[in-house]
Structures are given as C-alpha cells and as structure tokens.
Structure 1
Amino acid sequence: MMLENKYIAAIYAGLRAQGLEDQKEELVSSYTNERTTSTRGMTKREALDLIAYLNGDQNNKEDKRSKMIRYIYSLAYQMNMTQITKKKTKVDTERLNALAKRLSPQKKGLQEHTYDELKTLVTLFNKYYKEQLNKGGFYESPNT
C-alpha cells in the first residue's frame, strides 16, 4: 500500500524548511529501519514520526526527557545517593541506576528509558522519595 500524498507532501515541506533535501534518502532509510529510501514506501507511522522530527517535535521531546532525568538526579542528590570524588560530591550513578531498575516497570537503568517511560518513572521516584521522607528522611551516605 502506497503512502498518501498528504504525508509525502508534509515530509518534503519539512525537508525544505530544515534544508535537509539532500539527506532525504538517509532520513527515510533511518525511519524505516533501512527498509526503503522512498517516501512512497513508508508506513503511515514512519511518515508521522519523520514529520514530527522535521517539525522539531523530537528536539522538544529530547529537552523534556533531559529535564526529567535531571529532576531524578536532583531527587537522588536530596536522598543522599552521593559519593565524594576528587573533593566533589556527585550522585552515585550505580546506586541511582539500581533504584531506577527496582522502581521501573521496564527494569532498566535511568538513561535507557524513553521519553514516555520516564513520565512514569518520575512519578514513581516522587512517590518513593515521599515515602522515604515520611519514614524518617535521608541521612549519611554509606560512602562518606
């Protein structure tokens, strides 16, 4: 089944707007997992994902994803999940990833979560933080 013309037109408009006409084949290939380099051979979902990227939605999603990760890091810092290296106190990423794997429905480390998965993970971290605070808070880090 061939992709509808309105999606093809939107892809070309996005390519022109971003100055990426020369990279059309590579972009289509990457969005179709190298199945095709032709916009006509794309599925509707692949075309919509490419259109969203060309319209800047992907950058916005990445910004939001980064903010959610930074927020979880700030919670980890408040929970004393820190270690001192070279006279600097930093979040202990091993402990943070272990907690993320424990709390996450996907059972994976913090950076491995997608934007949509992080929305759930932030909620779970907030709940965990409040529960631990109600149990008596966070004291010394075991590494100090």
Structure 2
Amino acid sequence: MNSPNNTQIRIFNSILNRKNLRDNKKEIVFEYTEGRTESTKEMTSDEIQKFIDFHNQTSNISQKRNARPFRKTAFDYEQQEGNNMRRMIIGICREAFDMNTDDGKADMKRIYSCVEKLGYLKKGLNSYTYKELTTLVTQFERIGESTLKAKARKNRKDWKVSVFDDDGNEIEFDVTEFMTKTN
C-alpha cells in the first residue's frame, strides 16, 4: 500500500477548501477508502488520486467551455439534484434511526452502512446514479415514515380513550390492557 505524497495531500486539502467541503473531510475519506479509514494519511496514493482526478475533471469541464458564462447543463442539474436526494436520505436516517454523533453531526459511517443494507441495490450511497436515487429516496421515505410511526406507538405509555355520556360529560377509559398482545 503506497502512501500519498505531500503534494497529493496538499491538493486534496486545497480542493476541500475551494469547494467548501472541509467539514465533510472524514466522510469523504471514508467514502473514497470504501470504509477503511477516515484519515487522509491512511489513504493510499491511488485513493487520494481518484478524488483529485474526479474534482479536476469537473473543473476542466467548466474550463473547456471557452470562458463562456457558466450555463447549467443536464449533467449539472442531475448532479445537484442527486446531492439533494443524498441529503434527504441522510436527513431521514438521522431522524428515523437517530444516526447522529455525540456532537450532533450525521454519523456517516452508520448512514453508509444503512444504505448498503437497506438500499434496494445494496451499494454505497454515492454509487447510486441520479435515476436510481429517485427510487432510493422513495424507499427511505417509506422506511423512515414506518419507523417513526413504530417509535410513536412504542413510546406511547398510556392508552386512554375519551367518550361522552348522554349528559355530555367526558368519561376517560384506560385501555392499556387491551392494547398489549397476550397469547
């Protein structure tokens, strides 16, 4: 395993700063190392180069437009919408499964693992194409909704029902004993 050289690490950090990705550094390293590490220094030269090449390629696309004003293409739109859909999935995982770190940030290791296990194509979140993400979002919306409903039922401590008698007085009944399954 060949370690990245100092130039690669400087370029990596420069790209993170330029694209305002500094806060996501650990998650990015985790994704590019396929879950092996969160440390830049533990990345291989090839792994860090893939990141650099990808971001240089996207930079070169805009440079090849002969310095014309930037116009959004279908590719740009799909890339932006794909990122929005990924954020939605991350939000669903954080809310429904409480996938947060102690300091309140998204626990990306758990989220990536969850997507690989529950996702319909069983692959990493960033490996889904734009079209695949539309189905994945729908799937996770349903999973999240179902999970939140189950949590609400589980957390419900009292099962009280109110009814009104013939005189209009409210009568409250505790029906907890009927809500628990017995064999």
TM, length-normalised to structure 2: 0.42
Aligned match for 2:66, one of 19, 25, 33: 19
**Fraction of identical pairs, as percent:** 26
SS of residue paired to 1:18? coil
Question: Unaligned 5+ residue runs, structure 2?
Answer: 1-63, 153-183
Deviations 1:108-127 (A, max 9, x none): 11111111111111011001
Does the 8 A contact of 1:101 with 1:108 survive in 2? yes
Deviation at 1:55, TM superposition (A): 7.0
Q: CA RMSD in A?
A: 2.4
Deviation at 1:90, TM superposition (A): 1.1
Deviations 1:92-118 (A, max 9, x none): 112111211122222111111111111
Deviation at 1:18, TM superposition (A): 3.2
Q: Is the helix fraction higher in 1 or 2?
A: 1
Which structure would you say has the larger RCO, counting Cα contacts within 8 Å and 6 or more residues apart?
1
Q: What is residue 132 of structure 1 aligned with on the other side?
A: 147
SS of residue paired to 1:90? coil
**1:81 lines up with 2:99 in the alignment:** yes
Q: What is residue 91 of structure 1 aligned with on the other side?
A: 106
Does the 8 A contact of 1:97 with 1:109 survive in 2? yes
SS of residue paired to 1:89? coil
Look at both structures and tell me which one has the larger radius of gyration over its CA atoms. 2
Do the aligned partners of residues 96 and 19 (structure 1) sit closer, same or farther apart at CA in structure 2, a change above 3 Å counting? same
**CA–CA separation in structure 2 for the residues paired with 1:74 and 1:128:** 13
User: Residues 23-38 of structure 1: matches in 2 within 5 Å?
Assistant: none
**1:62 lines up with 2:79 in the alignment:** yes
**CA–CA separation in structure 2 for the residues paired with 1:63 and 1:131:** 28
Following TM superposition, where does structure 1 have runs of at least 4 consecutive aligned residues deviating by more than 2 angstroms? 17-20
**CA–CA separation in structure 2 for the residues paired with 1:70 and 1:78:** 12
User: Residues 46-61 of structure 1: matches in 2 within 5 Å?
Assistant: 56-61=73-78
Do the aligned partners of residues 55 and 92 (structure 1) sit closer, same or farther apart at CA in structure 2, a change above 3 Å counting? closer
Deviations 1:5-43 (A, max 9, x none): xxxxxxxxxxxx9328xxxxxxxxxxxxxxxxxxxxxxx
Does the 8 A contact of 1:103 with 1:121 survive in 2? no
Question: Unaligned 5+ residue runs, structure 1?
Answer: 1-16, 21-53, 138-144
Aligned residues: 86
Q: Aligned AA for 1:57?
A: A
